[in-house]
Amino acid sequence: MKSFKETTGQVHSVETFGTVDGPGIRYILFLAGCPLRCIYCHNSDTWDYTIGETRTVSEVFEDLLRYKAYYDRAGGGITLSGGEPTLQPYFLAELFQRCQIEGIHTCLDTSGFCDLEKAQLFLPHTNLVLLDLKHMDGPRHQEITGVLPDKTFAFAHYLAEKKIPTWIRYVLVPGYTDATEDIEKLCLFVKKLNNVERITFLPFHQLGSAKRKTLNIADPLQDLQSPSKESIEIARNIARKHNLVT
Ligand code: SF4
């Protein structure tokens, strides 16, 4: 039976064998709700905060414990993703705290669109942040995501101040985010942070387009191709020049 006092979260879905959202093999919890509207989002079915199931911290934690030995062996842990998981800061903080007490590595996959006073709740219990930077230019960021980047930039600086290990992820969208000057600006920003362990360029792909169609979401990228291997290499070379990739 659920306790009245227990913190609950709105959970969209769970993946028990995640291999791309943090180190090792991971329990990926996708939380419902996102304030952004990225034009290339492949999880647009998570945008609505009311979908999914309401679950207590204990319910999630006990489910996770069933696989713990497996994640331990594989150097993994738990990743909270979404949607935007920082929209549920109390649930996030409590769950991560319990995980860390149990020796489970905690990772947060976020756009960084988060109030800093809320971040203070969960960052002390976060081992690693996967921070998605979408664009360094304000108006372009707004065009791509629906919001300005100020909160994300403040969050990135706060992570650096708190020395939280961070991996940066940046989606290369041809014609939107892949200009040389875009990548230069990104690298100059990242270079100033002292906590970034890696930067990864993710190619735009059409995997989210079917969901957008089903949900009747406008899709300005419906005819766009993924970036070529060469353009990914160009981005990596710029980052290499800044000593951000090997
Ligand atoms: S922040 Fe993530 S979940 Fe939200 S719209 Fe952007 S890509 Fe989708």
Write the pLDDT tens digit of every residue in 204-232.
Answer: 999 888 898 899 998 999 999 999 999 99
Q: Is the CB of 110 under 6 A from ligand 1?
A: no
| pLDDT, position 239 | 98
Q: How many residues in the chain?
A: 246
Question: pLDDT tens digit string along 107-125?
Answer: 999 999 999 999 999 999 9
How far apart, in whole angstroms, are the C-alpha atoms of residue 104 and residue 51? 27
CA of 111 to the centre of ligand 1 (A): 7
SS (H, E, C) the chain: CCCCCCCEEEEEEEEEEECCCCCCCEEEEEECCCCCCCCCCCCHHHCCCCCCEEEEHHHHHHHHHCCHHHHHHCCCEEEEECCCHHHCHHHHHHHHHHHHHCCCEEEEEECCCCCHHHHHHHHHHCCEEEEECCCCCHHHHHHHHCCCCHHHHHHHHHHHHCCCCEEEEEEECCCCCCCHHHHHHHHHHHHCCCCEEEEEEEECCCCCHHHHHHCCCCCCCCCCCCCCHHHHHHHHHHHHHCCCCC
Q: Which residue has the higher pLDDT, 184 or 207?
A: 184
The pLDDT-based confidence of 2 (bands split at 50, 70, 90) is low
Q: Is the CB of 84 under 6 A from ligand 1?
A: yes
CA of 3 to the centre of ligand 1 (A): 32
Nearest alpha carbon, ligand 1 atom 2: 83
How far apart, in whole angstroms, are the C-alpha atoms of residue 182 and residue 174? 12
Q: Is the CB of 82 under 6 A from ligand 1?
A: yes
| pLDDT, position 208 | 87
Q: Burial, 160: exposed, middle or buried (Cβ in 10 Å; 0-12, 13-18, 19+)? A: middle
Nearest alpha carbon, ligand 1 atom 7: 41
Is the confidence at residue 39, as pLDDT, over 90?
Answer: yes
Structure tokens at 147: 């919001």
The pLDDT-based confidence of 4 (bands split at 50, 70, 90) is low
CA of 64 to the centre of ligand 1 (A): 24
Query: Can the peptide bond before residue 83 be classed as cis, meaning omega within 30 degrees of 0?
Result: yes
- Average of per-residue pLDDT values in the chain: 96
CA of 179 to the centre of ligand 1 (A): 21
Is the confidence at residue 144, as pLDDT, over 70?
Answer: yes
Nearest alpha carbon, ligand 1 atom 8: 41
Average pLDDT, stretch 60-75? 97
Is the confidence at residue 75, as pLDDT, over 70?
Answer: yes
Average pLDDT, stretch 87-106? 98
Instruction: Indicate the Cα dihedral angle 18, 23, 27, 29, nearest 10°.
Output: -90
As its CATH architecture, domain 8-241 has: Alpha-Beta Barrel (3.20)
Mutate to test the pocket of ligand 1, among 34, 44, 45, 142 (most ligand atoms within 8 A of CB): 34
Is the confidence at residue 78, as pLDDT, over 90?
Answer: yes
Residue 197, number of CB atoms within 10 A of its CB: 9
Q: Is the CB of 86 under 6 A from ligand 1?
A: no
Q: Is the CB of 87 under 6 A from ligand 1?
A: no
